[in-house]
């Protein structure tokens, strides 16, 4: 456990070794969460990793391996088709 000082701008500086241990680099993102009377800091990468795959149950298995660009192209095409049918 380390004690940090809050600056006049209400900022803290986390020790480099601490950030390195969690793979947080300059410009990296962190996630801060209130937990009772504590503050929990997580690497934003770990938040993504924790939720990775959590939406798979909502994805048709035939979509696995399809690129994002291909899905967006198909979505745009279907949306345009729907808009055209509404305007008729």
- Report whether 51 contacts 42 (CB < 8 A): no
Each residue of 1-34: pLDDT tens digit? 889 999 999 999 999 998 999 888 898 888 899 9
pTM value > 0.85: no
- Burial code (b: 16+ CB inside 10 Å, e: under 16) for 21-45 equals eeebeeeeeeeeeeeeeeeeeebee
Between CA 2 and CA 21 the distance in angstroms is 15
Question: Which residues, 6+ apart, have CB-to-CB distance to 41 below 8 Å?
Answer: 14, 30, 31, 32
Question: Which residues, 6+ apart, have CB-to-CB distance to 11 below 8 Å?
Answer: none
Whether pLDDT at 49 is above 70: no
């Amino acid at each position: 456990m380390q004690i940090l000082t809050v600056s006049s701008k209400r900022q803290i500086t986390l020790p480099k070794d601490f950030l390195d241990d969690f793979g947080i680099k300059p410009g990296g993102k962190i996630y801060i969460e209130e937990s009772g009377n504590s503050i929990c800091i997580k690497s934003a990468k770990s938040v993504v990793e924790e939720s990775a795959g959590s939406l798979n149950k909502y994805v048709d298995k035939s979509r696995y391996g399809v690129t994002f660009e291909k899905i967006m192209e198909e979505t745009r095409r279907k949306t345009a088709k729907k808009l055209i049918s509404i305007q008729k």
